[in-house]
Structure 1
Amino acid sequence: MKRVFVIHRWSGGSNDDWRPWLKVELEKRGYQVIVPEMPDTEVPNIDKWVNKLIEVVGLSDSQTYFVGHSIGCQAILRYLEKTNSIVGGAVFVSGWFNLNNLEDEEIREIAKPWIKTPIDLEKVKRVLPKSTLIISDNDPYGFFEENKNKFLEIGSKIVVLHNAGHITEDDGFISLPELINEF
């Protein structure tokens, strides 16, 4: 059975934004959907988030898929960098490699390791045969062109939403049909 791991955003949770809708929609299509609560979501840590993925995913294979939102995309990329198993694919929503407009110094310090610690994109590309980035042209945190180009480096298809912000519930997203189209 195809498994989909849905990884939430910083300060988010498994029941926020469009994740409950996505779980229902994918289960209707026969997928097993796992939406783990990631640790310390207010102060996300690379090692803790990647280790949580290692724990919940177990053995990955071509029937293993991922959906990430914001920092959840980073966690997935860093997990993929560590695995030798070729997975089925991934959809990255509001994915980023660099951030803009962070509120204060504390937030910038939390984000710094995620931004500054490099990801081996060649390694990711070897284990990720198919991926899509769904990104907004007015994401308040993203460097649109820079982040889009980084995802192009791993071969991601790019889907641009107009005026969609960070693609959260606060931006009006409790469903995301563009995401389902990628499965």
Structure 2
Amino acid sequence: MVIAHSLGCLAVLRYLSSLRTDWNLGGLVLVSGFTRKLPALPELDGFITSGLDVSTVRQRVQKIPVLRSDNDGLVPSAFSDELATLLGVKAHVQSGAGHFLAEDGVTELPRLLDWIQ
């Protein structure tokens, strides 16, 4: 099980997509994930590129929950929804969680327990 947040989602997806050996993963939880350049954080543009092929990931990961907030000021909801669609899943929405940071009032995510057990 791998859990990633924000830019970490892109980093994990890139890594998994690059693996050329046979591999399988029980679960991959992506929180506030995206694959597009973020209007709110243009300083990340150099790291964020288009053309990520997630087909291998989709085939080799048993469970892929994508979690987003309805008021994320950094990652637009549509970006997380698009990532979920690329992975063949539907995004789960946690209302009012912002970018899932302590400063947004999020210090625990009990919802993840259902996905990691």
Higher helix share: 1
Into which bin does the TM-score normalised by the smaller protein fall? 0.7 to 0.9
Partner of 2:79: 146
Q: Matched residue pairs, number?
A: 113
Deviations 1:122-149 (A, max 9, x none): 1221222210011001111112123212
- TM-score, normalised by the number of residues in structure 1: 0.57
* Contact 1:70–1:96, Cα closer than 8 Å, also in 2: yes
Deviations 1:4-51 (A, max 9, x none): xxxxxxxxxxxxxxxxxxxxxxxxxxxxxxxxxxxxxxxxxxxxxxxx
Across the aligned residues of Structure 1 and Structure 2, the Cα RMSD in angstroms comes to: 1.6
Question: Residue 129 of structure 1 aligns to a residue in which SS?
Answer: strand
Question: Residue 28 of structure 2 aligns to a residue in which SS?
Answer: strand
- TM-score, normalised by the number of residues in structure 2: 0.85
- Structure 1 vs Structure 2: percent identity of aligned residues? 33
Q: In the aligned structure 2, how far is the partner of 1:130 from the partner of 1:155? A: 11
The amino acid that maps onto 2:30 is F
Question: Residue 52 of structure 2 aligns to a residue in which SS?
Answer: coil
1:1-183 correspondence runs (5 A) = 65-83=1-19, 84-98=22-36, 99-102=38-41, 108-109=42-43, 111-183=44-116
**Structure 1, unaligned stretches of length 5 or more?**
1-64, 103-107
